[in-house]
Amino acid sequence: MAAAEQLVTIAAVLVGALTTHLTNHAMERHRKQHELLTRWDEKKLNAYEGYIDKIRSCVFLAVQLYEHKEGIHTSNKGEHELIAGLADAGWQRGRAFERIMLLGGDEVVEAAHQLNAAAIEIDWQAGGKVHGTLDEWRARNRAIFAAINEFHNAARQDLGVQGKVTGESHPERDLLLPPPRGGSNSNQS
């Protein structure tokens, strides 16, 4: 009986060692999967943030150019310098868009396409490639900010962030416009 007890003890030790090994292996595998997921989420977040930053830079430069060309505000920079700045910012935006195409989920990629289209319309009117009134300019700016919000919502969903930046909890916002200038054409307010 002593030999049987020894065999049971050895078997119990072997089963314990095998269980420990399998548990450690499963935990290590789970940890590595979590690390990989976290690493990609961080890269996605950086790509999404960088893309929105480039979009906003383009809009800012387009507004400067448009206001300079229309005589709404004068710039310290000349028109050629403003056009060159907008072209460079557009190139940077394109590079950031490519990162979205590589890393983004389906909804994010579609929202980025819509946002890019709205951004290009602003660039075109600011640069004079398409003509439009001040009201059309403002409508394009409203459209791009709505597209930015849609991109934010898609990116938040892709990253697993709860909530939305639009909807019942967040009232619709409009462009912040200065009050009309006294004695000037009301179209340029």
> Whole-prediction pTM value?
0.72
Q: In whole angstroms, what separates CA 149 from the centre of its chain? A: 9
Mean pLDDT of 36-42: 73
Q: Are 121 and 29 within one domain?
A: no
Lowest mean pLDDT across 14-18, 88-92, 152-156: 14-18
> pLDDT category, 188, cuts 50, 70, 90?
very low
Claim to verify: residue 129 and residue 114 sit in the same structural domain: yes
Percent share of the chain, pLDDT over 90: 58
28-64 core/surface letters (b: 16 or more CB in 10 A; e: else): eeeeeeeeeeeeeeeebeebbebbbebbbbbbebbbb
22 part of a folded domain: yes
Residues 30 and 45 in one domain: no
Full residue range of the structural domain in which residue 56 is found: 41-171
Beta bridge partners of 167: 170
Quickly state the pLDDT bin for 26 (edges 50, 70, 90): confident
- Same domain flag for 118 and 166: yes
Nearest to 74 by CA among 83, 61, 65: 65
Q: How far is CA 107 from CA 104, 110, 111, 154, in A?
A: 8, 5, 6, 6
Count of domains forming the chain: 2
Q: Which residues contact 184 (CB under 8 A, 6 or more apart)?
A: none
Model pLDDT, residue 187: 47
Mean pLDDT of the chain: 86
What CATH number is given to the structural domain containing 77? 1.20.120
**Whether residue 24 is found in the same domain as residue 67:** no
Q: In this predicted model, what pLDDT tens digit does every residue of 109-120 receive, in sequence order?
A: 999 999 999 999
